[in-house]
Structure 1
Amino acid sequence: MKTESEDSDYYALAYYSMSSPKRVFGISLEFLRRRGQMRQGVPVVLLQMVEFLDQYGLHQSELFHASRSEARRNELKKSLNRGEFQCFRSSDAHAVASLLILFLRELPYGLIPCWNATRFLRVYTKSTPISVTGEKGGNVTLTCECEANEILDIILSSRSENIPVCQNEECSGRVFKKGNCHIIIKDLRLNDAGKYFVNVYYRNNETELERQIRTYQLHIDDEISVKIGEELKLDVLLPDVDKVEHQSRRSTEWMEVWRSGNGVQSERMIISDRNLIISNFTARDAGTYRVLEPGKEILITVKVRVSKEKLDDTDKGKTDDTKYYRAPPVGTATIPVSGQKGSNVTLPCQFKARKISDISLNSRSENIPVCQTEECSGRVFKQGNCDVIIKDLSFSDAGTYFLRVYYNNDQTKLKQQFRTYQLHIYDEISVKTGEEHKLDVLSNANQVVHWAKNKTRWRELWSKSNGAQSDQLTDSDGTLTIKEFTDNDAGTYRVLDNEGEILITVTVRASDTKSKGKRYTNDDKTDDTQQHNEISVKIGEELKMDVLLPNADKVQHQSRGSTEWKEVWKRSGGVQSDLTTNTDGNLIIRKFMADDAGTYRVLDFERNILITVTVTVSGTESKGKLNYMDADKPNVLPKSQDKNI
């Protein structure tokens, strides 16, 4: 509504406009419209200036700075105010730019009159999306907050359709009005996620009907559990979805598993009726899945957990202390630690309290006594402030450990610090062909998988639920036995726990001369076992290296002008960059740049170099695909080079 002073200004401008019927500067938009000097709601003179600047002014420097031709600008203004059609010269760019600013500056009340400014601001702020989150199966409220006295109608729509809104909860639909103009969506489904628009039509003591617009971004959460080996079906591929990403439980990286136009990123996944399906669920498929639209707004988040099986009958007679362990607080980060069978490993405490009164160590099944010094007879002892050493490692030591440090730093109340460790044990042995070989690896195992040298994927050999998968294998007393070892049994064996964490890695080599089960040492390795290759890649294309062998622990990169090695992938942490992914044993740089050139080296758990790849920039055709399925023979890394590993 205009005030009394605004009304007097309005009549003065009307008189000024009528006394100069051809004038365009200093005339309100309303009077320019009445005169027919507007085209599609824009003053004709403004269109003329904008079109000229679009053609001749965009390449000019300092276009809207102080006019370099003030005399020419004033000349053009007088000509336009006389109603003359002005044909600007190509040299008039600066003068016309200054003239455009002058036209806007002299508009009475500005581009948006003050009596409409509040209404425009209201429409803008209400159109900014309001984030709303609900759980699948629950209800969510789209809040209105309109204080109008008389609401005449409410219209709800999504990007694709108008949605009927019941007037009360008693109706049969899932969407109904509550209170003044709130909207409730009940029994939420994953396909409810997305943008919603609410138009509220109202009248506040005025004859003119007004409208308030609100935009909502609805995000749906869900949480499910799946048994190992069963099918995981996610009905998340809505029409507006751009991609689906997965974050495993112990990773901070998001890995793309599906994208519109490209489909699934793994052979283990399929698409059916807008469902993303993993046919044979494993613990590594657990974690968080998020569904994003093209604007990177999160539509859906699904947390997938491994379904816990009931305790076996053999567990029923055990005490609570043997069935359960005291887990640390939620959010405690897990520290990966690796050690070779027969050697020692340190669980680093990294805590510098002055008054540590006690430390306690336990696994998932038992409390573990910690000696105060190395001189005691046990295998576990404290070193330094609160580090814990486990010596003479055996395969049964692999698993999760929880360290509690009790301390009191000049305070009366005793406090605790928590550390969680995932201990991985590795070993390398050679076995004589034709003899029996025993792997004592089943004490904490849920699954044993094998990667043969001439194969391209892991094969399950044994699982806790199904036992041995071959007549050549037996399991007894925590030992997996190969009855008659052959060349096909050589390769890498990996032991996984119930959550898919790697407990044990054993590299087994076939030998015709060495005795059964002999440890494979560096003396057995030849100088020519390291795999090396050179490839060239075109800028902007994909670099794909299938170098993530079963016994690979990390991949490092040294750029062409540097002496430092930078870690780009680690088995415990995944890729270190958003531009890099790892899928089915491949390390992939989606868009190769000059900075990605240099040398890549693949290391095993003992810091041996398995593969070295020199990558150069190609000026012509890309050759950026590398295959290393047979490259699993390590080469000892010289001591002078291991400081960056």
Structure 2
Amino acid sequence: MKMHGIDRDRHFMHLHCLWIVGCVASSSLPSVPVSISSPVGSQAILPCKWRSQLDDVPVCHIQWQTPDEPVFEQKGEQQWQASEFEGRVEVPKEKLWEGDCSLILRDVQFGDVGLYESFMVVDGARMKRRVFIQSVQLSVYDHKSKLSLGIGEDLVLKLHTPQAMRVVFQGRNSTEWKVLWIRGDKKLNRGHLEEAEGVVVLRGLRMDNSGTFKVLDSHGLSVSTVKLTVEEVAKTLKLPQIQDKPVGKSTVYRSSSLLLVFVLLISPLIQHLL
């Protein structure tokens, strides 16, 4: 666990004391939490508005927790966050004073799934009390897509998260999964997939590259699934098409004018012959 401006042991004891007090002093939780769904690797915002529960507080002291453990705590300039959320959680200070205590959770992972609860800690006459603000149920899902590319083209696979650790492939007519890429394994990756910023690339597709590609995280869970079809693109010469121009009023008027001019020019000649 990482702490900023708070003595570690002292704060840890203080936090758990507040939880004990909070079991008695906190407002009762609502039966239906707010549901938030987010794709893995993206940013999720867990909503929280404390002014709906409190008129004003001398110091904004916000806590976020799951039913099992603390996640985040902020009091003024002091801040604490659990190790598994380190560097990924934040409650913007400027919004907190305006009444918005929403928790920003970056690089969402499957392990983040669950119920989150927020509380404001308020100084009372005799003891501190925690006022319940909001409960949020977070769910996380993987990315799915279908692609159709031609022979010789490049397949670009997004990794979506720094937690993506490997890419596996299953051919269209196969039941075996083959490892194509492992993060940091230069020997395996050479000649297979090229790694760039946030993506891996398979160059010069062949017909036997048709199948399913999966990006997996460190726990073997699917970050993304891409079903690829490689097609043979026929190289045919396209001849320019000549389109008939539509006949409109302007075309009819122009033809009539030319006919009238022609008649006027040959009329004297006809009269002379007669």
TM-score, structure 2 as length reference: 0.43
- Quick one: higher RCO (CA 8 Å, sep 6+), 1 or 2? 2
Structure with more helix by fraction: 2
